[in-house]
Each structure stands twice: as C-alpha cells, then as structure tokens.
Structure 1
Amino acid sequence: MKKKILTGSIFLAALFLQQAHAQDVEFKSSNFKDKKEEFKSIEEGLEKAEPFYQAGFDLVFNVKDPGMNFKQALNYYEKAQEFNPNSALNNFHLGICYYYSSEPYKAIAYILKAKELNPECDPFLYFYLGAVYQLEEKFNEAIEAYKYFENDYKKADDFTKFVTQRKRECAYAKERKANPERVWVDNLTTINTAYDEIAPSITTDGSQIIYSSNKPNGHTPDEVGEYDMDIYYTDFEDGSWNTPKPLPGAVNTPNDEVVNNLYYDGTKLLLHRELDGQTDIFESFLNGANWMNANQLPVQISSDRNNEKYASYNFDGYKIYFGREVASRSNGYDIMFSGLKSKINGDYGAAANVSTVNSKFNDGPIYLAIDGETMYIASQGHGSIGGYDIFVSYKKQGTWSKPENMGYPINTPYDDFFFANTANGKFAYIASNRAGGKGGFDLYKVTFWGAPKEPAFDMEDYLLASVASPIKDPQIANTVEVNKTSLTVFKGKTIDALTGKAVEAEIDIIDNETGKVIEQFTTNSATGKFLLSLQAGKNYGISVKAEGYLFHSENFDIPNGSAYQLVNKIIELKNIAVGSKIALRNIFFDVGKANLRATSNTELDRLVKLLKDVPSLKIEISGHTDNTGSSSINDQLSQDRAQAVVDYLVNHGIAKDRITAKGYGSTRPIASNNTASGRQENRRTEFEIIEN
C-alpha cells in the first residue's frame, strides 16, 4: 500500500494546525459570569483600542509610520491580558502592538501563544507568525508561515507585496548569515538606557557623539507616558564615553528633536521635528558653546504638504539629501535632494528624486561621505534581511548605483538604521532595536576587521570619526574591503600664547600651487576649536589671523595616495607687541639657494598687508638653517634668504627703514638636529617685532 503524500496547502495546514490544543477564552460575557463589572470595564477598553489598532494597521499597510496608534491601543490590550491571558485574539493584538514598537522582540511570545490558542484567530496570524520566526532567525519556518498565509489570503489588494518582500528577506538572510561579514557589533553600554537611543552623529575627530533619546527629560510626558526626543552629547575621554548631557543651547524643545546629520566641521547640524502633525527638517548652528534655536529649512526641502526627515549634508555644502513621504503614494519615504543656489541668499532649487536608490518601501536615514561618491542608506526594501537594513551606494558617472546590503551581523531581522563611520572606515556607529540590548533602540559600535591577517585596529582610531570611506559589500567572500580615503583631519584650537585662553580667529585654507583660498571659516568663540578635512594631492597653506594678534601659518603637503592621518594642533596666537616672533611656514626656497619660489607669494603678501595695516611696526626678518654643512655657508645662506624676503617686502611698498634682515645660520635651533623632522623645523624664516 502506497503512503499518502501531503503537498501544498494541505501540508502547510498540517504543519501549523497540529499544535492547536490550548483553550481559547474569548472575551464573551458568558465566560466571565462571576466578574461582570470587571468584564464590562475591559470590554469598554477593547472598544476604545479598536480604532487605534485599525488606524495603525492601515498606516502600516500604506507604508506609513503608525505614529502613536499602536502605543495607545497597547495600554488597553495589556489590561485585558491581565484580566484574561488566554484570549488568542488579544494575544495577537498585543503581539502586533509590540511588533511595531521599539521593542519588537516582545511580540514573539504573544504571537506564538495566539497561534497555540487558536490558529484561526485572525486572518493575518500566519503573516505575523512568519514575522516573529524571522526575528528569531528561524528563516525556514518563517518562509513556510508566509507561504501558508499567501495561500490563504485571497483579497485583491497590495498586501501581497509585503509577503513577497518577506519571503525574499528570509532568503537573503539565510545566505548572509551563512557568510557573515568580518565585524564586531558592540553595544555602547555607557551611553544606552532602557529608553530609545537613536541617530548617532560623530564629530570628524571622533571625540564626540551627538544623538537623540526619549529618556526622562523634565518635560511633560505624552498620553502614553513617554517623553519627547531630545538631543544629547557625550565626549570620548580617557578611553571611554563619559556621561551624556543635553546638547547645550536652545535646540531642544518640548517637541521631538531627532538628529539627522552633523556637518563635517562640527559647526551646524540637521534635525527633524514634528509640529502640528507634520514632520519637517530644521537646521541649528553652533554659536560659541551653545547650539542655536533650529530654523525650518525652505519649502523646497521642508514642504507644506509632505513629511520630510533624515537629511544629510553633501560634502560640498551645497546639496542636502533627505527623505520625503509623499501623501498620495504608498511607497513610504523616498530619498530626494535639493541644491543650494546661493549661499548668500540661502535659496534652494526644486527637490529631485534619487530614483536609483529608492524602493517600494521606506528609504532613509541617509549619510553622505566626505568623498562625495559614497552614500549610506537605511531601507526596508532592496535586499533587506528584515526591518530596516543599512546599504551602501556609490556614485558612478554621475549616477548613484543600486544599494548593496552591508551584511550580517551589521544588519539583522530587526531595524538597523542610521550610520556614521570613522574617517579611516574601520569603525561605524548605528542604531538598532535588536534583542539583547538595554531596551528599545540602542547605539552600537561596528568594528570592521578588514581582510584576513590585516591589523584589526589602531588605538588612535578611537579618535577618528564620521568622514566616510567606502565599504564594499562582497557577494560571496566573507571579508569586508575598506577603501581608505586619502585624507588628513586637521583639528585644534586657537589660544592666546600668554594666557592660554581661547581666541576666536579666522582661518584661510590656501592651495599653495594656485595661491587661491579654497575655504574660510572662524574658530569657535568659546573654545577656539576648529576642525577640517584636507584631501590628498595638494600642498596647503593654512593662515590663522585674529584681531590684535600676529597671524599664524601652517603648511601641509599631502601627496596623492597618502594614508589617513590625524593632526592635532594647538595654535598659540601672539599679541602684536615688541618681542613677538612668528615663523613663516609657507615661504619656500630652492634647495641650497635664496631664490624665492612663487608658492611663497601668498604668505609674503599677507606679511605686506600686516605691515601696511599696522604702519608703526618695525620688524626683523631672520633666516635659520639646520646644522648640516659648514657654519659659514649656513650663515651666508640664512642671511641671503632673509634679505630675499626683505627685498620682496620693499618691492611691494614697505619702507626700508622698517625692515632689517639677519641670518643666524644654525645657531638658534627650535628642535633637535638629530632627526629629519627636527632639521626641517629648524630650516625656517621668521620675523620678530622690534618696535611698535
């Protein structure tokens, strides 16, 4: 006799119905004859919960944020659960409310119990049974549950796109879990709380994280007892992150403030805020030690009719990328961009859709790398393995490429989103509501191992941060390749040389080859701090000036292909007083000669301007060498070089009686002559104020 083979829906029905042994206690008055008054109160609560639950479900169905709906329904369902823990439908409703919360792992037990009590309690039970199996990384069981739901669901609507997506997610997840990326993902336990911590932004030097949290903040809680999102910061000191504090200034309000992106130099940030039921993008600027009240961006970005959030600055400061939810569509948020027409007028062009990176589901948050060619995107679509995943897209011939999943365990079946990575690409910071955290969304640090046998990390990298480097997502190999950006991060602060107090100063960045100023900015008025990034392949002059002080200059030569480096510089500015002395670091001579190179003109012209601006100054130009070679040759070379500078100044209108030239040879070293770097420091041209 042949065995009967179960196939198709018969097999699936057998698989999922065989455990239906427990008793489903429905909310009927006949089941609670001895608790009539309590039952009546619970029944009224369930009636109040129904419109919230349905509104939340409808929004999810249309790929929109369910808002407070599931949270408002949850309170009633929890009271009903205490009264009667064996209602299949109430367990299912509880599971749905938790699934769409910041703690989706709490849904698992309720959905499984609903299925045990009554596998037919709701038409969507098997869809969400698949969803919780997916959270548990039981991908085969999840696929079977989705198939069972798909076979049973006969409505002519668009819900099938969710089923198709979920089955695809499980297939992707199986492949990626079998080939995990070479990374560590660690919870930032010193920052996270039992509340939600999201949206990490990292200063370029890695010394500070700015993020948002809804932990208690002294404001009035909302109708479900939750606090609004405020912005916090924490500094990296002595090898760890210190106690977070609210961001100083006027940026935090009783509304939700969610950080979107901190600009590369740390002077401004984008955030989104909900007002009167609409979410828009705002911008705040750092003024001294405080962040100013945020202003809403123009209508081209923060439109009148749509919701916008998750904005990111482009590296050039002219474009802003952001997410927009078009009310008439059911594709969730799409990534758009708008370009600044004029920095003076602050007007933007019409927003354009970045079609190649958008899916049929929510896309964003976004992070644009400083190289201008790498975009990190969180998305529920594309090749997600569940919830939001983080993807990377590259700009190729002016077009953004199809996003590539960054792999497991960076991405999980939970929501993994927001992304800010370090300057050398070895570390990144994300937010996730995966199980095992401290509660809700937590912040996580991702450490990329790199290819096998390469060093895992350098201690200095703890100081690096959010200037992005491309991270390629291999399709088969279990390594993460990191394309290192040829980049120098130049940070520091300007202080008074005598008092040590912060000095607000203007900094010009000059391309020494062309003599053009390529960037201008002002150091922080409260701290004197500054931070910028310099690309490889140029020789830079950096001029620092402040009212009442001698100007300061630095010179950086960054050849093409140079490795990442971090330069931390304290610039001591000197008052224009007799005896003040300064090295002219951007004056260049031919080797062994006193011929001024053309690249010296920018520095010399600044000295001309100083002497013309302060006509009472009389100065000595001094030349200095290292101790290589004979003293007599060094003395003569230093004298000739000092005289060459004097001749330039005189030829540009400075009176001869205001300038003297003196060559000191190797007699006044400022560093050791035993090293190449020390000898380079000693080869210099200086000027000293001798009368004012």
Structure 2
Amino acid sequence: MAKSILFFLLFLIFTSVFIPDLYSQKVENLGENVNTDIDELAPVISQDGKTLYFIRSRFKQGKGFVQESWYSDIDATGYCNTAKKLKLPFSRPDTKCQVVSVTADGSVVLAALNEKDTLNNINGLYLSHKYSDGWDNPERINILNFGTFIGDTKNWGVHLAENGKILFIYKSVSKDNPFNEIFVSFLKNDTLWSEPAKLSGNVNLKSGVQGNFAPFLAPDDVTLFFASDRKGGFGSSDLYMCKRLDNSWLRWSDPVNLGELINSDEWEGYFFISPDGKYGYFVSGNKTIGDNDIFRFKFEPSFLPKPIVVVTGKISDAKNSELIPAEISFESATDRTHKYYAKFYPEKKKFRLVVPGGKKYKLKVTSPGYINYTGTVDYLSVNTYKEIKYDIALKEKTIVEAVEEPEVITLDNIYFDFGKSDIKKESYPELDKIVRLLFENSGIRIEIFAHTDNVGSDDYNLKLSQSRAESVLSYLVSNGIQESRLTAKGFGSSKPVADNNTEQGRQKNRRVEFKIIK
C-alpha cells in the first residue's frame, strides 16, 4: 500500500511538471528527407543516435497495405539525411519485416509477418546484427505460447524496453476484431520469454475501434507511452502516458492525454524517446507533407520522465590491451530488482548501456577466462542527462583463480597411443602448465582422473585408465613435484560425458581431468 501511494504521489508530481513543459516545446516535421506523400510510421532510433528506422505504408489495389522498411542517417546536429530503403534479412516479397527496437549492444529486433505462413514458420520476432555489408543470421526470439497468443490476428507489434528484459506486445483481438490490447512479457532466461500477460486497469480501456497500441517504455522503466482512440481524445487517435505502480508490471496509473501540442484532431501514434533523451518522436496526420508524417520535439531536462545515464566503454585484456568479448551488468544496490545488461563485442569497439539516474549500482564485468571486475557506481546525484565512459581491463585467470571451490577440470591436449599409457610429446606443454601451477602454489594438491570410451571390456578400460592416470602423475613427479601432493585414479568407461555411439562422443570421453584441492 505504501509503495502504491508513493508511486501515485510521484505520478501527480510528474504530470504537473511534464505536461506544462511539454507544451512549451516546438514540434517540427522531419521534412522531405524522411516524409513523403504516403504514411511514415513506427520511428525507432538506434542506440548510438545515428540512425532513424521507420516504415512507409501505402495501399495497393488487390494487395492491401504494403509496408517497406527505410532508414535515415542522422548527423551530429540531429539533421536527418535522405532516407534509403532498408535491405532486411528476410528477402521474400510476401513478407512484411520491420525494425521494432535496437538493443544496447546494437542488436536489431525485427518483426516478421507473412500472411501465407503459419506462426511456426517465419512469423515472429528475431534478433540480428546489421553490418555495413548486410545482416547476420536472424535468431528467433522465443516467447512462451506465442503462436496461441497471437492466434489468427495479422495486426500486432512490439517494443523492447531499454533494459532488454521487458517486452511489450500489442495485438488485435482477432483478424475480424481490430481492437488492440497491450501485454507484457519477461525474459526468463537467455533463450525464453514468459507468456504475455495483459496490462490491467485503464491502459486497456474498452473504448474505441483501434483500442490501445504502439507502447513505448521510457528509459526510467516507469513511464509508459501508448496510442489510443478511446473516448475523450482530440482526434481519431491520441498519445497517452501512465506510470507503473509496482514491480508486477501489470498495474498502471490512469493514463493522461499528452495534450494539444502533441495531439490534434487527426491521428497520432508511435511515441518514441531518443536513447540520449534529447528528442521525442511521434507520428501525426496533422500539418503533414502527405499522409501521416514523423515529427519530433526537443526535450528539456525538467520534463524528462527521469534522468538517464548513458554508459559507454570498452573491455580489454590487462596484459596486452587486446579487446575481449564481455558482459556488463548494472544492478540496483538498494532493491536489487532492477538489472541492466550489455554485451561488448570487440569488432564494435564500444559497449553502450542506459540506466536511470538517482541510484547506486553494483557494476560487474565478466569474460570467460578472466577475473570478474566488480565495483559500485554512485549516480544518486545525477539529476539530468549524463554520459559516462568506463574502459575496463580484465586480468586473465590462472588455473587456481578459475576454481573457486574444488571442481573437476578437463585437461585439453593430453594424448596417448591407442591402447597404451605412454604420453605423447605433444602433451608436454599442457602438462607443463600443471607443473608451473604446482610450483607457484605450494599449498595445493591435485587429484588426477583418467577416462576411456566404451570400446573394449570394462576391466580392460579400467586398467588402461588407471595406467594413464599414473603416467600423468609420473610426469609431474619427474619434473620436481612431490608425489605426496598427487593422487591418480582411473575410472575406465564408467563416467562418460558424451554419447559413445559417435566418434565425436567417444573422443570427448577419452579424457584426463584434475581436481585442485586447496
């Protein structure tokens, strides 16, 4: 109850500040470089602020509305250059495909719809990276029971929140009922999103023909903008905003109309805030070059939903300064319910992450084979848009540092002749690493385990594996390691890690492992 009252009071403060300041801004048409005599819809700005993605829609006799994806390069002054048609990874002429979001790591979220296919085929959401020479292979975004959820409707759309963990979806009730409702889905793990749940309250008010659509979550993770043709608006569709009341993401305050600066007696929709928080974009049919056009207005810090911090940087190897792939996370240090993630790809030279200001965060950087970087960053005093750069160098793990608790680790590149226990010379470099490890860490012991595949009898394999484990022990002793720090045990074929019915599986099962005992 106390949290709900607090959210409500914040909402009253927000609306009393946001709307008057919003009225004071000048709205501008993006001009003929972007807008034409047909519909321009669904603006999306890339995370670096350098690209505007949008769609053009026109009616063709016998085909209905045909949509094409376009983009415009934005220069340092905010000027939009002449738009170009976007070549998308789905090349089929009967497939509608558009950019619906761009993630912090530069991944592009694509929505694909083909009226001749089922939802189990090409229809759905995808992640892909755009490069100068094309796209990488699109990776499907898996949403639990998405096919059943969408049903037979051909009218749906999505918005991925800045944090990359919340997905808003709107869809019409059915192909015969154009009324739209807004839903939310949560990232459950790296590969699966939860089944969409409908937002409650007056967000999905049963009023109008089109209903409620085109949601956009501000970078504060609290303020939701959307379009609706509900009663009481200025035109055929207006833009509204509301505030999240709790962490269920289902309860929202009563929507507030954005007013006459944005809304007119025409159609308005597709509100979008640029990632740097400097501009608000929307689509309107008022005072246009043709049909619906894309407009924008400049934000003032006083009416930003909440100040944001744009964190950029690169991750490198502390020893040689080479860039390395890594994952970066910011977790709220107070409630631990808000987490923000980004991935760093060396070829992209920079990661980018947007977090709300006014908070402390626990920063964590991880990369396979490297010691995690952790720290606390304090943005409590941030009350306006801010850019901060972090270049972080990670130290490579030694074998001991890689093991926090005793665990079994497989030794790569240990080779024996077929059916024998003699160690081949090409195995020496790998074993020499263990020698160095033991010399540098006099307080540890290791257990050596050897395994075989299932070719041969159990008794034969057990004896062979024991002999191989002892050969490894003997090599370490011959290089100066005390035998009292070592034990050797063979398991034969009793502990496979892969399928013995394939050569690849048998190769994985023929292995030597060790366990560090600190």
Q: TM-score, normalised by structure 2?
A: 0.59
Separation in structure 1 between the aligned mates of residue 81 and residue 320 of structure 2, nearest angstrom = 28
Which amino acid letter does the alignment assign opposite residue 230 of structure 2? G
Going from structure 1 to structure 2, the CA distance change for 1:324 and 1:552 (only over 3 Å counts) comes to: closer
SS at match of 2:286: coil
Deviation of 1:234 (Å): 3.0
8 Å CA contact 1:268, 1:283 repeated in 2: no
Map 1:241-252; keep pairs closer than 5 Å: 241-247=80-86, 249-251=88-90
Report what 1:321 is aligned to: 168
- 2:235 alignment partner, one of 369, 383, 386: 386
Report what 2:260 is aligned to: 408
Deviation of 1:309 (Å): 1.1
- 1:349 alignment partner, one of 191, 195, 199: 195
1:300 equivalent to 2:158? Answer no
Separation in structure 2 between the aligned mates of residue 183 and residue 277 of structure 1, nearest angstrom = 45
- 1:368 alignment partner, one of 190, 212, 217: 217
SS at match of 2:202: helix
Normalized per residue, the structure richer in strand is 2
Separation in structure 2 between the aligned mates of residue 318 and residue 450 of structure 1, nearest angstrom = 26
Report what 1:560 is aligned to: 380
Map 1:525-540; keep pairs closer than 5 Å: 526-535=347-356, 536-540=358-362
RMSD: 4.8
Normalized per residue, the structure richer in helix is 1
Deviation of 1:509 (Å): 2.9
SS at match of 2:401: helix
Per-residue CA deviations over 1:457-502 (Å, capped at 9, x if unaligned) read: xxxxxxxxxxxxxxxxxxxxxxxx44433x321124568999999x
8 Å CA contact 1:337, 1:354 repeated in 2: no
Separation in structure 2 between the aligned mates of residue 513 and residue 430 of structure 1, nearest angstrom = 35
1:430 equivalent to 2:282? Answer yes
8 Å CA contact 1:419, 1:428 repeated in 2: yes
Going from structure 1 to structure 2, the CA distance change for 1:238 and 1:552 (only over 3 Å counts) comes to: farther
Per-residue CA deviations over 1:227-248 (Å, capped at 9, x if unaligned) read: 8323233333342333434445
Which amino acid letter does the alignment assign opposite residue 382 of structure 2? S
SS at match of 2:269: strand
Q: Tell which has more relative contact order, 1 or 2 (C-alpha 8 A, sep 6+).
A: 2
SS at match of 1:357: helix
Per-residue CA deviations over 1:66-102 (Å, capped at 9, x if unaligned) read: xxxxxxxxxxxxxxxxxxxxxxxxxxxxxxxxxxxxx
8 Å CA contact 1:281, 1:311 repeated in 2: no
1:187 equivalent to 2:33? Answer no
8 Å CA contact 2:317, 2:396 repeated in 1: no
Going from structure 1 to structure 2, the CA distance change for 1:505 and 1:429 (only over 3 Å counts) comes to: same
Report what 1:209 is aligned to: 52
Report what 1:484 is aligned to: 306
Separation in structure 1 between the aligned mates of residue 172 and residue 63 of structure 2, nearest angstrom = 27
Separation in structure 2 between the aligned mates of residue 180 and residue 567 of structure 1, nearest angstrom = 24
Separation in structure 2 between the aligned mates of residue 262 and residue 489 of structure 1, nearest angstrom = 15
SS at match of 2:214: strand
Map 1:456-535; keep pairs closer than 5 Å: 481-485=303-307, 487-492=308-313, 505-509=325-329, 521-524=342-345, 526-535=347-356
8 Å CA contact 2:185, 2:194 repeated in 1: yes
Per-residue CA deviations over 1:163-213 (Å, capped at 9, x if unaligned) read: xxxxxxxxxxxxxx9998112111112322333321011234423322222
Which amino acid letter does the alignment assign opposite residue 158 of structure 2? A
Report what 2:297 is aligned to: 446
Provide structure 2 residue ranges, at least 5 long, that are not aligned to the other structure: 1-18, 410-429, 435-439, 446-518
1:234 equivalent to 2:86? Answer no
Identity %: 18
Separation in structure 2 between the aligned mates of residue 258 and residue 554 of structure 1, nearest angstrom = 38
8 Å CA contact 1:184, 1:448 repeated in 2: no
Going from structure 1 to structure 2, the CA distance change for 1:560 and 1:212 (only over 3 Å counts) comes to: same
Per-residue CA deviations over 1:388-410 (Å, capped at 9, x if unaligned) read: 11100111245211111111121
Which amino acid letter does the alignment assign opposite residue 313 of structure 1? L
8 Å CA contact 1:182, 1:449 repeated in 2: no
Separation in structure 1 between the aligned mates of residue 317 and residue 396 of structure 2, nearest angstrom = 23
Report what 2:39 is aligned to: 196
SS at match of 1:241: coil
Per-residue CA deviations over 1:34-78 (Å, capped at 9, x if unaligned) read: xxxxxxxxxxxxxxxxxxxxxxxxxxxxxxxxxxxxxxxxxxxxx
Deviation of 1:258 (Å): 3.9
Report what 1:543 is aligned to: 365
Report what 2:511 is aligned to: none
1:262 equivalent to 2:102? Answer yes
Deviation of 1:323 (Å): 1.9
- 1:420 alignment partner, one of 269, 272, 276: 272
Which amino acid letter does the alignment assign opposite residue 160 of structure 2? Y
**Number of equivalences:** 378
Deviation of 1:415 (Å): 1.2
Going from structure 1 to structure 2, the CA distance change for 1:296 and 1:509 (only over 3 Å counts) comes to: closer
Which amino acid letter does the alignment assign opposite residue 441 of structure 1? N
Which amino acid letter does the alignment assign opposite residue 227 of structure 2? A
Which amino acid letter does the alignment assign opposite residue 609 of structure 1? E
Separation in structure 1 between the aligned mates of residue 70 and residue 130 of structure 2, nearest angstrom = 17
Going from structure 1 to structure 2, the CA distance change for 1:251 and 1:484 (only over 3 Å counts) comes to: same
8 Å CA contact 1:425, 1:483 repeated in 2: no
